[in-house]
Structures are given as structure tokens and as C-alpha cells.
Chain A
Amino acid sequence: MCLIVDANVAAHVFAIPCGADYAPIWNWIEDRDGKLVYGGRNRTELERVGEARRRLFSLWQAGRAIRITAERVSVEERMIAKLGRCRSDDPHVIALARATGARVLCTEDVDLERDFKDRQLVPRPRGAIFKSKSHWRLLKHNAICEGRPR
């Protein structure tokens, strides 16, 4: 599944070197077919993080990062508001997953983790959280997320 990086870990994930726990992410993105999706408020937040901002353009250029429009994220945010189940203050991240099909999230926000695994908020395939290198098996790209050919 494509990966979403929450702003609260962006400085660590996008740092070079990024640390052993996030190294599998870059092996997957740079050496294989990994894709990162971002957009809406998530994009705004990431672009405030210096390390992320610097790397996002080159990743987009290389086809490793896929940018989604704010409008598409907003549509999903309205649907999430109607469901009334979101406990975190990051419905935009849930919306990004719903809009793109991405199902792996890198975050340290406990409430967001819970929301991301809620099947009523993030329908199948089930959302998963990447927190350390032991989660490397989650990093696989397939046709479900936005990085699919039309």
C-alpha cells in the first residue's frame, strides 16, 4: 500500500540519515516501487517541515510521491464528519487514506492510530501503522492506492 507520513514524524522520516527505524521506508521508495501520497492539510503541514519540503519535490519529480488535490481530500473529510467517529484531530489524514487508497500510515499520534485502524473510517483494506523497522512487511505497493495506472 502507499504510505502517508503524518506531520508529527515528518522531521524524522525525511531526515537524512533518517535513523534505522525509518530506513525501510526509503529502501522501499528509492530502490523498489514504493509511493508516498500527500495532499490537503497533510501537504500544508509537511511543507512546513524543512526536511520534508526539500525532498517532496524531488520525490514528485521521480514519481515516488503523488500529490492529491485539496478538493478531493475535502470531499472525504465531509463524509468523515457525517460518520462522527473520528477521535483524533486529524480527519484530513483519514480523508487522504480514503481518497487515495493508501493504507499505511507513519505517525506517533495514538488517537490517529486508532482512527486509522477503524474499519468504518478507513474501509478495506485495513489501515496499518508503520512505527519501526520491524513493520517493513507493510511496505508493498499495489494497484489499490492512487499510484495505479488509469
Chain B
Amino acid sequence: MDGLILENVRCFHKRHEIRLAPLTLLVGENSTGKSTLLAATRLGWDLARGIIEPDFNEEPFGWGAYDQIAHFHGGKAGRAKSFIIGFKRRITVPHGSRSSRRESDAFLVFEATFRQRGAQPALVALCWRRGHSEISASFEIEPKKVTITFKPERKPIIVEPQEFSLIGGEPVVTVFRKVLSRQPKQVSSSVAESISLLHAIVPWSPYFHFRSRPYAIAPIRTRPQRTYDPRRETPRPEGEHVPMILASGDAAGDEKWARLHAGLQEFGMQSGLFSNLDVKRLGKKETDPFQLQLAIQGPPVNLMDVGYGVSQILPIAVDCLTSEQGQMLLMQQPEVHLHPRAQAELGTFLAHLVRTRRNRFIVETHSDYLVNRVRLDIRDKKWLKPEDVCLLYCERAGAGVKVQEIHIDDQGNLLDAPAGYHRFLLDEEKRFFEG
């Protein structure tokens, strides 16, 4: 995704088109929509994959029912009658015949529109748009009808609802193709071309950066335990699966584990959190309980006996290092319980992964140390270029919020910081010196 689209979602009144970069940092005061942006990113991906009943309350996000999701305008305007979640993606489109093939850049826009049905939001329209071409599907309940519209074609195609029963298991566009293949008379050459184009860019095509679902990490990670029992490694936002990942890796002792261990050790040392991490088995079998032990200065100690910051950052570090190449990870306050040195090092850690594993991160943070480190790494040409980073400042504006991108130059300078950015800190500094 190169950009997120929100309209009338929670505090996002009107249409917002928000750029996303390989490393996107969301900053701003509390309750300014930062977590909403994270959740919307994952929802947009789900919708594009054909999930027409997305879970708006899947952990670690909880958007509530329709009334909690649709923006409230206030007064007579009341609640928004619909809301939109979508994204933009830059694509390269081939043109011409094989002998004279050329390519051009374009933006693909995907939007999903929801209205209220009972207490919940219900999908009423999907739309894929590129330039003047558009394919959209609208869903009606009474009578049950699905209408596919192609622009610039004029006549819409009415589809039997049962043909759309496949949606949820396949991308919508694949369903379009199947439906239209049964109605050849209605398929003009331009429609067929549109379908082929869209089929070429469904989420698992090479035109998309990431093939795995964006992975969301919870704002507060699970409490450490002195001893762990072996269990399934089902990923959980709070990181309960991480000890088992470490235990399994240690047991396997393969190259994958060596890389993970080395990555953790490097981060631990640079951040000052630990110099080594090991798994201590309390028996000889893999089914026996185990403990996680860290070396800081001196002999190894149990995870329970070191600072809370280690157990909070460990799931994040492990999830990042074990993610698929190119996967997007969504984080809320990864810096919590970390000393400023470790917060800064986390910035370098994420930047390094963007460059070496093509991961994409959207990070909601209150840490100036993390942001400053990213800026300095840009200045010192370590890992990232200015265009790899997007600093999004969220601030309250009337009944809603405003999102402004603050551009960073090759010296790490912020070029267009608005008056509200860091205003509180400047006021505190002035207060200090005036005392």
C-alpha cells in the first residue's frame, strides 16, 4: 500500500488520503486517530483480499459497532450514513503489443463503502479504480442484487447473489471474472481488458509489495513468566507465542535460529538491554518446561528477574525478525518501558529491517528518541533515504482530526512542521528557563 484512504471513519471526517512509506511514524497527542490508522491498514488489506465481512474488533483493535465507527458530525448532521476504507497503490502497467511493449506508472485505488445494517456496518460497495477506468460492485439486500458496473461502459451487469457466495474465499476480482465468463455477450473488449488488468494486480501478484497480511502487535505485550510450558506457536498480538518460538528455534538449532539469535543479540547489545539470550530446558525433552534467560552483566538471569522493558520489547524484536520478507507490521508504542537509549536503538533496528528484509512498518509512537534516531540515520545515510520514511503528525481539528505529513530532508531536518508539532515541549523548555 502506498496510501490509505479514510472517509467518515471515527475521528476522520471527510476524505483523507494518507501516504504510507516503508517506515511510517505516527505521532501526535492521545486520541488523534493514530491507532485508527493502524487498524484501517489491516482492514483495507482484508477487504482487498475479498473478505466482505471484516472483523472491526479483531485484536488488538476494537472499533465497536456502527455507531462507534462512523464519524459523528454533531448537531443536526448526526452520524455519517456511510464510511469508506481503502488504499492507493502505485502500479506499473504494461501497454502495447509484445513487440512494442512499454510501461507506465499509475495509481490503483481501492475503496470499500459501508452502511449501517442493524447495529453493525455492512459492505455495500467495492470499487477498483485506475484513471478513468473503474470496476465496482454494489450489494443490495432487498431485493437481493449485486450490480457490477464498468466505467466507461454504460450498461451495468446484474449478477445473481449466489454467484457471489464465493467472496470471502477468493478475491472479488476473481469472482468478477468467473461471473463474466458465463455472460460472454455482456463482456466487451474494454471490460475484458479491465478484468485482466485487475486480475494482474490482486494482492498476491508481484505488483504488490507484501503478500502476507499486515501483522499487528499489541500496545502492551504479555507479562513474562518464570517458566513456560510448551504450547502452539499461534501468533498473538500480545506476544504469548514468542517464548515457544525461541524454544523451538533453540531445539532446532538450524540456520533460521542462528539468524534469529544473532539478530536478537545484536539488538540487545546495541540497546544495552542484554548481551545474550538463551533457552534453559528443565528437562531433556522438547515437551519439558523451559525458561528464558538473559545475560546482561554477569551470569544469565531469568526473564522475570530483569527489567520489564526487556519482556515488552522481546516479542516485537522476535516478531520483526521472524516475519516474512516484505511483510508489513503495525505497532503501537513499541517504546513502552524502554530506556531512551533502547528507544533510539529501536529506530535503527526498524530502519535496518526496512533495508535488509524489505519489511514495512507503521509505528505509532510517542518517542522523540526513536524519531530523532531515524532522522539522524537518514542524515548519516544509514539504511534509509528520506523517501523511505513518512512522519505523519495527527492533531485534533474541530470535531475530527487532521493528518499532516512532515517531510524529512537528507539532513534529517523536518521541513514543514506545523505550529502544533512539539509545541508542548517548547513551552516546557521556556518554562524551565524562565524559572
The residues of A with any CB-CB pair to B shorter than 8 Å are 16-17, 30-33, 55, 58-64, 66-69, 146-150
Contacts and interface: CB of A to CB of B under 8 A. Distances in A.
A32 B419 CA distance: 5
Interface string B422-435: 11011101100110
A118 B423 CA distance: 36
B414 interface: yes
Contact of A63 (B421, B429, B433): B421
B333 interface: no
Contacts of A31: 419, 423
Given A16-B434, A150-B407, A58 B426 contact: yes
Nearest to B435: A16
Contacts of B407: 149-150
Contacts of A55: 429
Nearest to A26: B430
B418 to A, nearest CB: 7
A62 B419 contact: no
A33 B425 contact: no
Contacts of B415: 63, 66, 146-150
B372 A61 contact: yes
B44 to A, nearest CB: 26
A147 B406 CA distance: 11
Contacts of B417: 62-64
Main secondary structure of the interface of A (DSSP, over half): loop
Interface in B382-435: 386, 406-407, 409, 411, 413-419, 421-423, 425-427, 429-430, 433-434
A30 B433 CA distance: 15
Contacts of A68: 411
Interface residues of B, number: 24
Nearest to A58: B429
B368 interface: yes
Nearest to A64: B417
A150 B415 CA distance: 8
The 9 A-B pairs with the shortest beta carbon distances in the complex, nearest first, are: A63-B417, A63-B414, A62-B422, A16-B433, A149-B407, A66-B413, A149-B416, A30-B426, A149-B415
A69 B379 CA distance: 10
18 contacts: A30-B426, A30-B427, A31-B419, A33-B416, A58-B429, A61-B372, A62-B421, A62-B426, A63-B417, A63-B422, A66-B409, A66-B411, A66-B415, A68-B411, A147-B416, A148-B416, A149-B415, A150-B409
Contacts of B433: 16
A69 B380 CA distance: 12
Nearest to A37: B413
Nearest to B419: A32
Given A16-B430, A62-B426, A63-B406, A33 B418 contact: yes
B419 A33 contact: yes
A31 B419 CA distance: 6
A20 to B, nearest CB: 15
A31 B422 CA distance: 10
Contacts of A147: 413, 415-416
A52 B415 CA distance: 20
A143 to B, nearest CB: 9
Given A31-B419, A62-B421, 18 more contacts: A17-B434, A30-B419, A31-B423, A58-B429, A59-B426, A62-B425, A63-B406, A63-B415, A63-B421, A66-B415, A67-B411, A68-B411, A69-B411, A147-B413, A148-B415, A149-B415, A150-B407, A150-B409
B428 to A, nearest CB: 10
B425 A58 contact: yes
B18 to A, nearest CB: 15
- Residue among A31, A69, A150 facing the most chain B CB atoms (10 A cut-off): A150
Contact of A61 (B386, B411, B422): B422
A28 B413 CA distance: 19
A109 B421 CA distance: 34
B432 to A, nearest CB: 8
Contacts of B409: 66, 150
Nearest to A65: B413
Contacts of B423: 30-31, 62
A149 B415 CA distance: 6
B413 A63 contact: yes
A122 B85 CA distance: 50
B68 to A, nearest CB: 34
A30 B431 CA distance: 13
- Residue among B414, B421, B430 facing the most chain A CB atoms (10 A cut-off): B414
A33 B417 CA distance: 7
Contacts of B434: 16-17
Contacts of A150: 386, 407, 409, 415
Contacts of A67: 411, 413
Contacts of A17: 434
A11 B415 CA distance: 26
Nearest to B406: A63
A30 B418 CA distance: 10
Nearest to B428: A58
Contacts of A58: 425-426, 429
